[in-house]
């Protein structure tokens, strides 16, 4: 009997390849017509711009094993991601760094002066319990209100006091002029887009690929199912739906360069979208050869039953629901849940790939030893 991989994003592709390389037969399916899951990118027919169809994706990692792995499947070009933010009619550099602080407060402070200045503004909260407390203790009320309060309410649809502190901890505060959005040593873009990388991962003997196919409609018995779809969907939402935010992209085109950068955040709450992404800036090596430009205005809202789930909300009631699904999964044979939707976590691509490589090794060893997967 063959193995079934549900979902042809990075999770499914990496595990599918590993099983096939170990000599197993694999059927990989995806309900979309395209490969790559949410990382899918394709060239726009009108402008030639490589568009990140489900939102901007920047590969960044400190994991050598993952970096070596992805480079086997395509040509990667170094890319240093920078983000600017509009607040109160002015443009600033993000994440908050010495330039942001000096420009915002109209000062010329040294690193030590800025550190002391921010420390004096920051609220002394020993253990920040939520996003707002984390922000107030990191950067104080002025920067919090200018850059985080409105944006976060738009992005998450709830008060920042209801969100975990961990969401903000993803972003650093720097007392230097270093303005790289990510701190990882390896940051790159695939020259031909992510979909070509996923295609190359799955191009191995032993894998049959079926797109536009829902797992629910497949009538075949499998040795085991590796499911990278939503865990609640697998159990037919028996305990309810895990909450997600979804995104609406308002696409528009422009001749020339619209905003001069890949990502411009709009932090004021009066502006209904969170950011505008200009996709040709994700490919600086070809950007200047392209006259046309493709842009997305990004709007965030609660995910409905027909929408694509993007960001897991993970509030207290969802944590409880998730525990019920996880314990149901543990007592259900024949299926393993993987990836961002299978585990209901926000996972960057590099973490997704690292976890998929680890899961593959465990599964292959278990099959060899006749143990439970």
Contacting positions for ligand FAD (CB under 6 A): 6-7, 9-12, 29-32, 37-39, 55-59, 214-216, 228-229, 233, 247, 310-311, 339-341, 347-350, 352
Question: Does 147 help bind ligand UDP (rule: CB under 6 A)?
Answer: yes
Smallest gap from residue 149 Cβ to ligand UDP (A): 7
Smallest gap from residue 42 Cβ to ligand UDP (A): 22
The partner in contact with residue 265, picked from ligand FAD, ligand UDP, none with C-beta cut-offs of 5 to 8 angstroms by kind, is: ligand UDP
Distance of CA 213 to the CA centre of its chain: 24
Q: Where are the beta strands (DSSP E) in 181-291?
A: 186-190, 207-210, 224-227, 244-255, 263-266, 275-278
DSSP 30: -
Active site residue 245: yes
User: In the complex with ligand UDP, which residue's Cβ is closer, 113 or 348?
Assistant: 348
Closest CA to 356 of 164, 70, 160: 70
Active site residue 151: no
The partner in contact with residue 340, picked from ligand UDP, ligand FAD, none with C-beta cut-offs of 5 to 8 angstroms by kind, is: ligand FAD
User: In the complex with ligand FAD, which residue's Cβ is closer, 6 or 335?
Assistant: 6
What are the angstrom distances between the C-alpha of 332 and each of 39, 329, 337?
A: 30, 5, 11
Please select the residue that binds ligand UDP; options are 187, 213, 228, 265, rule is CB under 6 A. Answer: 265
- Say how far apart CA 251 and CA 70 lie, in whole Å: 29
Closest CA to 292 of 251, 255, 260: 255
Question: Does 155 help bind ligand UDP (rule: CB under 6 A)?
Answer: yes
- Residue showing tokens 């007592």: 331
- Say how far apart CA 51 and CA 340 lie, in whole Å: 22
Active site residue 170: yes
Active site residue 75: no
- Say how far apart CA 45 and CA 52 lie, in whole Å: 14
- From the list 9-17, 146-154, 185-193, 336-344, the region that binds ligand UDP by CB under 6 A is 146-154
- β-pairing, 224-227 vs 244-255, is unpaired
> Which residues of this protein are in contact with ligand UDP, per CB under 6 A?
85, 94, 147-148, 151-152, 155, 167-168, 170-171, 265, 267
Please identify every residue annotated as catalytic: 170, 174, 245, 275, 298, 346, 348
């Amino acid at each position: 009997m063959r193995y079934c991989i549900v979902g042809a994003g990075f999770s499914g592709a990496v595990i599918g390849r590993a099983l096939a390389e170990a000599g197993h037969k694999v059927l990989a399916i995806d309900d979309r017509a395209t490969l790559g899951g949410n990382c899918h990118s394709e060239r726009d027919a009108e402008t030639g711009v490589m568009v990140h169809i489900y939102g901007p994706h920047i590969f960044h990692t400190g994991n050598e094993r993952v970096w070596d792995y992805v480079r086997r499947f395509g040509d990667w070009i170094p890319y240093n991601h920078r983000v600017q933010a509009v607040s109160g009619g002015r443009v600033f550099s993000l994440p908050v760094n010495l330039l942001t602080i000096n420009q915002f407060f109209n000062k010329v402070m040294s690193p030590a002066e800025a550190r002391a200045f921010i420390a004096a503004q920051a609220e002394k909260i020993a253990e920040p319990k939520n996003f707002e407390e984390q922000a107030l203790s990191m950067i104080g009320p002025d920067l919090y209100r200018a850059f985080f309060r409105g944006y976060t309410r738009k992005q998450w649809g709830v008060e920042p006091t209801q969100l975990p502190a961990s969401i903000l901890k993803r972003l650093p505060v720097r007392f230097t002029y270093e303005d790289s959005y990510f701190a990882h040593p390896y940051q790159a873009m695939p020259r031909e887009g992510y979909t070509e990388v996923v295609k190359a991962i799955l191009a191995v003997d032993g894998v049959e690929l079926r797109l536009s196919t829902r797992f629910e409609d497949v009538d075949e018995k499998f040795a085991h199912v590796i499911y990278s779809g939503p865990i609640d969907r697998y159990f037919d939402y028996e305990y309810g739906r895990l909450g997600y935010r979804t995104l609406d992209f308002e696409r528009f085109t422009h001749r020339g360069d619209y905003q001069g950068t890949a990502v411009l955040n709009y932090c004021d709450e009066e502006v209904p979208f969170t950011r505008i992404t200009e996709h040709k800036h994700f490919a600086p090596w070809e950007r200047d050869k392209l006259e046309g430009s493709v842009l997305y205005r990004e709007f965030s809202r609660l995910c409905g039953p027909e929408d694509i789930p993007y960001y897991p909300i993970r509030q207290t009631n969802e944590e409880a629901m998730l525990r019920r699904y996880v314990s149901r999964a543990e007592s259900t044979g024949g299926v393993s849940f993987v990836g961002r939707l299978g585990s209901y976590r926000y996972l960057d691509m590099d973490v997704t790939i690292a976890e998929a490589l680890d899961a593959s090794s465990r599964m292959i060893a278990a099959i060899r030893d006749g143990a439970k997967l």
